[in-house]
Amino acid sequence: MEKTLQSLSGLPVIYAGKRVGRVAQAALSDDLRRMDGLWVDAGLGGARFVPSEAIEVLGAVSVTVDAPGKREKLKKRPLFRRAVTTDGTRLGAVVGAKVDTATFLVTSLIVSTGYWDDLIRGRLDVRRFAATQDGEVVADLQTREEENDAERNGQGNGRRSPVGRRGGNAVRRDELED
C-alpha cells in the first residue's frame, strides 16, 4: 500500500500505547529513493526525529513507533526540486512523493507542471526518476507513456486495461477468445 507524504502530516504518533506527538514532516534520502524517518512535533517537548528503523506501522489513522525518537532541531529539507525530462526539457517541480508503507521506499514522485496544467490535467505521477548531484530530478516520461499505451491496448498489468472492465453486455476479452 502506498501513502503520500502529505497524508502522513498531522497523524498522531503512538509509542508504548501513548501519543508522543504528531507527524510534522517526512524526511527523504538525498537520492529520493527511501524515507529516512519522520519529524514529530511533540509540543513543548520540541521536535523529535524518528528514524525509519523505529517505525513499526504507517497506518491510516496513526503511526506506531518502537522508540520515541531523538530530540533534535527540525531540519527543513524542502522536497521542492526542479524536474526535467531525460532530454533536458523543464517539466515542473516535485511537490510530493508516494511511499510504500511496508518498505518505506519511494514508489513515485508527484510533479506539478504548473497551476493551470494541474487544474486541467492533474499532477504527474512519475515512477522512474533519478536525482542529480545539483538537486534536479530527471524523470523518464517515455517509459510512462509506453506503460500507458500497453495498458490501453490490453497488454499491460491489467490495472486499467479493458480486460477487467465490465460494461454493456459484461463480456470480457478472454471469454471472446474461447
- 168 falls within a domain: no
pLDDT above 70 covers what percent of the chain?
A: 78
Do 101 and 63 share a structural domain? no
Residue where a domain stops, chosen among 37, 52, 71: 71
- Domain total of the chain: 2
- 125 falls within a domain: yes
Q: For 65-91, how does the pLDDT look when each residue is reduced to its tens digit (9 = 90+)?
A: 999 888 887 776 667 889 999 998 999
C-alpha distance from residue 116 to each of 3, 85, 97, 121 (Å): 25, 20, 21, 8
Do 43 and 107 share a structural domain? no
- 13 falls within a domain: yes
Q: For 14-49, how does the pLDDT look when each residue is reduced to its tens digit (9 = 90+)?
A: 999 999 999 999 999 988 999 999 999 988 878 899
Q: What is the CATH classification number for the domain harbouring 63? A: 2.30.30.240
Q: What residue numbers bound the domain in which 115 lies?
A: 81-153
Provide the residue type at 37 as one letter: G
- Rounded CA separation 85/88 (Å): 5
Residue where a domain stops, chosen among 17, 43, 71: 71
For residue 133, pLDDT beyond 90: no
- 15 falls within a domain: yes
Structure pTM? Answer: 0.73
Do 40 and 6 share a structural domain? yes
Residues 163, 168, 174, CA angle at the centre, nearest 5°? 30
Do 86 and 52 share a structural domain? no
Q: Where are the alpha helices (DSSP H) in the chain?
A: 5-8, 115-120, 141-152, 173-177
Do 86 and 144 share a structural domain? yes
The closest alpha carbon to 50, from 4, 95, 12, 85, belongs to 12
